Each structure stands twice: as C-alpha cells, then as structure tokens.
Structure 1
Amino acid sequence: MIDDEELFAADLIGRRLLKVTTAWHHYADDDPSLVHLWLHLESLGPVLFHTPSTGLSLRADQPHGPYAMEEHGSVSVIDDSPDVPVTRFVGQTIRSVRQIDYNDGHVGFTAGLTLQFPSSSIRLLGLVDGLLIAHDQHLGAVEAHLHEDVTLARVMQTSGSCPSQWDAWTTTGQYLYLRYRHGEGTVEQHPSEDVDTWDGGESRLWTSWDDGTDGGQIELTDFLVTAGLRLAPDAEVRTTPPIDPKA
C-alpha cells in the first residue's frame, strides 16, 4: 500500500484491527478534541480517518509525532490509544462498512461510516471540522438528520440453498444482492438486479463474513441480523417456491 493513497470503505472489509492510534488537539483550557484516528489493519497497514471539513476521508498514512501549533495549542499522538471506544474491537475483523448520510433539509453530505464487527458496531462521524466517535451514544437533535440505508422494503429469494440468495431493495430504492455459500455471507450494492450493470462505479461490497461452517443455507432473518440489515414493518418478502420432486 502506498502512503497517502486514497482508500474506499470496501477496502476495510475483512481486515482485522490490530491497533489504534489517535491525535488530540489541545487548546487553552478546553478538553482535548480528537482530530485524527489511525486504524492499523491486517494486510493493509495504518489507515487515517480525518475530516477535511465535514464527512470522513480515508487514506493510507503513517502516524506522525506530536507537534506545536502557533497560537492554536498543540497536538499529541497516542499509540495503542486506550481512550476511544474503537479500541474494544482490537483483534476483531471488520465485517461491514456502511455509509452514514446527513440531511437536515438544507444541507446534505456523507457524514461518516458505521464499522460492524462480530461483537457490535461503532460510528465514526465527521460533522463540523472534527472527528467524533459515537458508540452507543445518542447525539441529540443531530440523530434525526443521520441516516443509514439499511432498511429493506422488498426482498425476493432467488435460491433457497447452495447458495441462499436474495434480491433486495432498501426503502430508498437501492438494490442489494444478498448471498450465502460455503459459510460466507456477502452483501453487494449494484445499480439494479440486471447483472449487466454490475461492473460500473456504483457497485461495491457492503458486507462479508465467514462463519466457519461451510454451510450453504441460512434463513433470511439470521442473514439480516449478521449483515446489520433489517426489514421495514411493511416489507414485501417473497420466498422461493418449494421444488416439486415429481416435476
């Protein structure tokens, strides 16, 4: 991996978290604020999460040392940082990376990412020129403007086993391809269910995990829980009709 190389959310999926490094801005008598976060990922190296203005930027980057800022305090860098919630996931593999959007009716932008690990998930947000980690934390009025496209309005099973797979559409109309085979589950985003549209820039991996069973069948409910997806209360769900052995 090349330093300063731009990375994408899908690059993080399937990588084990090895270590966390943080950079904190100290200014006057205020509490220090988190400005940079490096996640050291297996086979990928250190990945810098930072906020150019709003939202998050990801790039390959080695942690730097502490430094002073003229009239703006100083920045300290802590390796193996124990004071951020993401450290609880060290040793675990990133199973899913989901986009978090912000829209208050006037301004809309990609605000951050949800990283899902086997034990639970964590949100990394860049809202106002700073990095905010929100794990099991309600952000008050801001929450009404944050959205993850994880609610399914329509699901159609296309194969019952070996693999178990479904076509699915979120409440915003995004098409997802759900698949489980050899114990591995994946969620892929594509422009539509037409496979001829799957090679463009709108296609990407959302989720990948391996449960170690080498199985080829899974119930939709179990798949959705593991993938971090859910059904809308009025969701349309169609299952594959049973095969008639006499046919």
Structure 2
Amino acid sequence: MTDEEELSVADLVGKRLLRVTTAWHHYAEDEPSLLHLWLHLEGLGPVQFHTPGTGLSLRIDQPHEPYSMEQDGHVTVTDDSPDVPVTGFVGQPIRSVREIRYRDAHVDFAAGLTLQFPGGSFRLLALDDELVLAHDRHLGRVEAYLHEDVTLARVVQTCHGFPSQWDAWTTGGQYLYLRYRHGEGSVEQHPSEDTDTWDGEESRLWTEWDDGTNGGCIELADFLALADLQLAPDAELSV
C-alpha cells in the first residue's frame, strides 16, 4: 500500500491495531469536533478515516501536524488519547467491519462502519459532514434511521464438521457464506450461493477470527456469537 491509496473495508479485517491518532478542530466557543481519525494497522500503516461529503473515505495517509487557522480556530493532533474509545482496542486485531446505512423516507446512504474487535466494537459515523465516534453511545433520534444488515432470515448448513459451514441470507436479502475450520471462522459476502458469482466487486470478507483451538466443528449459536450476527425470531433453519 502507498500513501493516498484508497482502501476497501475488507482490507482492514484481520489487521492488528497498533496506535490511534486523532485530529480535532477547535472552534472559539463550540466543543471540539473530530476532523480525522487514523488507525495504525499492522501490515498497512496509518489508515485515515475522513468524510469528503456523504459517507466515509479510507486511505493510507500519514497524520499531519497541528495547525492554526486565521479565522476558524485551530487543529490539534493526539496519539492514543484515553478519551477516544477505539484506543481501548490497541493491540487487538479487527475481527469484522460492517456497513451502517442511514435510511429514512427520502434517503438511503452508507453512513459509517462498525469495527468489531475481540474485546468489543465501536461505530464510526459520517453525519452532517462530521465524524462521530459512538462506542456504547446512543445518538438520540438518529438511531432509528441507522441500520446494520446482521440479522439472518434463513440458514442452511452445508457441512457439519471439518469444516462447519452454512449458507445464510440476511433479512435484507444479502447472501453470506459462513465457515469454520482449524479454529478459524469467517463470514464472506457474495451475490449468491452460486460460486461462479464469487469473483466480482460484490464479494468481500466481512469477518475473520482465529480462536486458537484448531477445531473444525462449531455450533451455529457459538459461530453467530463470535461473528456478531443474530437470527431473526422467525428464521428458517435447515441443519
């Protein structure tokens, strides 16, 4: 990877978080706002998250230095601030990256990401052209319009062990391939269960982890808990 290179969210899965850098815009009378976030990831380097307009953009880019603006405050840059929730996950690998969509009667767009670590997860949102960090934090009325496609409507087990694997479909209609072998679990997104459709832009890795057991069998409930997925109350199961 090179500086300024755009990344996809799948590039982050499995990478260990080494350091967190934040840039804050300080205004004269208002609370500081998050301008940029850099996650320093093993094997990638500093990944900058910013909002160029609607949604998030990810790229390899070095943190900049603090600077002042003549009429609009100043920008400070800090490393591993304890006030930034993602700092608590330094040293852990990113287990999954999922899209958060904002939907109301008028618009539907990618509003942010949920990054899951072994020790928990946090949300990074781009709302009104600002970055918002939300870890165990309810954002008020906007929460009703934020959606993650993590609920399964149908699951078909295609192998019971070595590997344990399933075909699954979310309530939003997305097909997922669930697999567990040698203690490694993964969730992949594809257009359909037809493997001939698995090589295009719609395919990507959602989730990946290694539990260290080298096992080849896992119960669906345990797999879903590790993958941070859930079954719909009326989910159709075929095992």
Whether these two folds match at TM > 0.5 is yes
Code of the aligned partner of 1:162:
F
Residue of structure 1 equivalent to 2:89:
89
CA distance in 1, matches of 2:131, 2:118: 24
Residue of structure 1 equivalent to 2:195:
195
Cα displacement (A) at 1:82: 2.3
Identity of matched residues, %: 75
Give the structure-2-normalised TM-score: 0.99
Instruction: Report the 3-state secondary structure (helix = DSSP H, G, I; strand = E; otherwise coil) of the residue aligned with 2:47.
Output: strand
Instruction: Report the 3-state secondary structure (helix = DSSP H, G, I; strand = E; otherwise coil) of the residue aligned with 1:143.
Output: helix
Structure 1 position 41 matched with structure 2 position 37: no
Pairing 1:200-211 to 2, within 5 Å after superposition: 200-211=200-211
Residue of structure 2 equivalent to 1:242:
none
Pairing 1:23-62 to 2, within 5 Å after superposition: 23-62=23-62
Code of the aligned partner of 1:123:
R
CA distance in 2, matches of 1:79, 1:157: 45
Residue of structure 2 equivalent to 1:12:
12
Structure 2 segments unaligned to the other structure (5+ residues): none
Cα RMSD between the aligned structures?
Answer: 0.7
CA distance in 2, matches of 1:131, 1:146: 15
Residue of structure 2 equivalent to 1:160:
160
Cα displacement (A) at 1:72: 1.2
Deviations along 1:34-61, whole A, 9 cap, x unmatched?
A: 1100000111100001111231110000
Instruction: Report the 3-state secondary structure (helix = DSSP H, G, I; strand = E; otherwise coil) of the residue aligned with 1:88.
Output: helix
Q: Report the structure number with the largest CA radius of gyration.
A: 1
Give the structure-1-normalised TM-score: 0.95
| Count of aligned positions | 239
CA distance in 2, matches of 1:196, 1:54: 33
Instruction: Report the 3-state secondary structure (helix = DSSP H, G, I; strand = E; otherwise coil) of the residue aligned with 2:2.
Output: coil
**Greater share of strand:** 2
Structure 1 segments unaligned to the other structure (5+ residues): 240-247
Residue of structure 1 equivalent to 2:80:
80
Residue of structure 2 equivalent to 1:233:
233
CA distance in 1, matches of 2:131, 2:26: 14
Structure 1 segments (4+ residues) deviating >6 Å: none
Instruction: Report the 3-state secondary structure (helix = DSSP H, G, I; strand = E; otherwise coil) of the residue aligned with 1:202.
Output: coil
Cα displacement (A) at 1:191: 0.3
